[in-house]
Amino acid sequence: MKDQLLTVALAQISPVWLDKTATINKIEKAIKEAASKKSELVVFGETLLPGYPFWISLTDGAQFNSTVQKEIHAHYAQNAIVIENGDLDSICDLAEKNNIAIYLGIIERPLDRGGHSLYASLVYIDQKGEIRSVHRKLQPTYEERLTWSPGDGNGLLVHSLKAFTVGGLNCWENWMPLPRAALYGQGENLHISVWPGSDYNTKDITRFIARESRSYVIAVSGLMRKEDFPPNTPYLDEILENTPEVLGNGGSCIAGPDGEWVLEPVLYKEGLLIETLDFNRVLQERQNFDPVGHYSRPDVTQLHINRERQSTVRFAKE
């Protein structure tokens, strides 16, 4: 049956770093290419739009009241995505026009949190071009906390895509057992994990999550090389002084529901990686283990989830 098969594209590309408009153009090109190759889902890495905050660890990011840090952060914020202002409209239009679903990692500057703080968000756009979920990373990792804010549970949602049920998490969220369980419990069988770019992150956990959940796992990483820093980057000389030749080497991959590789981690290669997944393999592997079905004990252990979008202010109804 055709609904049992899903063709997916992993977009392992670099951003035009901290340049919102140019990076959107690059993303749109990748969407069109994925659609031309009959892909029904295309996935982009964590915060690809407009890029990961590599400068923090390269420029003494923890220095308090630093002019350098303030100015780079402001540049980052200026190039962040304000969904309410229509910044993703052209990407949504492409999704509808090409009948392709999209998972896209963005830096979000949401108006419902005042419009100034930044969040690492994973956006799901369906084949009709509608934004169905915006998952703000629950816990920024290590130096990320110097520029990103902690998210909430509002985006812990799954979505139907042909025979599959798809959900996703950002980077080290994938190590958090309870958010994974939140998605499993909603029927997830195609898990999306997005990363800034390193096989160090994807080579082990991708297969582990697949084996734990008996689901397909698609891990998508970006690329970032020294030459990917645009010349108009604030304090570029200071950033490049301590920058290695490669900051993100890719490592995008797919594991099957048995935990074995469908696509082993791909390093240093920029472009689309395309595979077709068969839903029937999920049912085969759930025969002996289903973490939220026959191999669970909700009478003993249960997970309670708060999916309310958090805000500092609440207004009573008039």
**Domain map of the chain by residue range?**
2-286
Interval 73-128: pLDDT, tens: 999 999 999 999 999 999 999 999 999 999 999 999 999 999 999 999 999 999 99
Q: Is 171 a catalytic residue?
A: yes
Average pLDDT over every residue of 187-215: 97
Catalytic residue among 20, 26, 40, 46: 46
Q: Is 226 a catalytic residue?
A: no
What tokens were used for 279?
Answer: 């839903």
Mapping DSSP to helix (H, G, I), strand (E, B) and coil, where does residue 134 land? strand
Q: Is the pTM of this model over 0.85?
A: yes
C-alpha dihedral, 154 to 217 to 280 to 188, nearest 10°: -10
Q: How far apart are CA 62 and CA 73, in angstroms?
A: 12
Neighbours of 152 (CB within 10 A): 18
Q: What is the DSSP string of 148-217?
A: -----GGG---EEETTEEEEEEEGGGGG-HHHHHHHHTTT--EEEEEESS-HHHHHHHHHHHHHHHTSEE
Q: Are strands 190-195 and 164-170 parallel, antiparallel or unpaired?
A: parallel
Q: Is 29 a catalytic residue?
A: no
- Counting every residue written for the chain, the total comes to 318
Mapping DSSP to helix (H, G, I), strand (E, B) and coil, where does residue 8 land? strand
CATH for the stretch 2-286: 3.60.110.10
Catalytic residue among 137, 144, 173, 212: 137
Q: How far apart are CA 301 and CA 318, in angstroms?
A: 41
Catalytic residue among 108, 144, 162, 171: 171
Interval 261-294: pLDDT, tens: 999 999 999 999 999 999 999 999 999 999 999 9
pLDDT at residue 1, as a whole number? 65
Provide Rg for the chain, Cα atoms: 19
Q: How far apart are CA 154 and CA 129, in angstroms?
A: 20
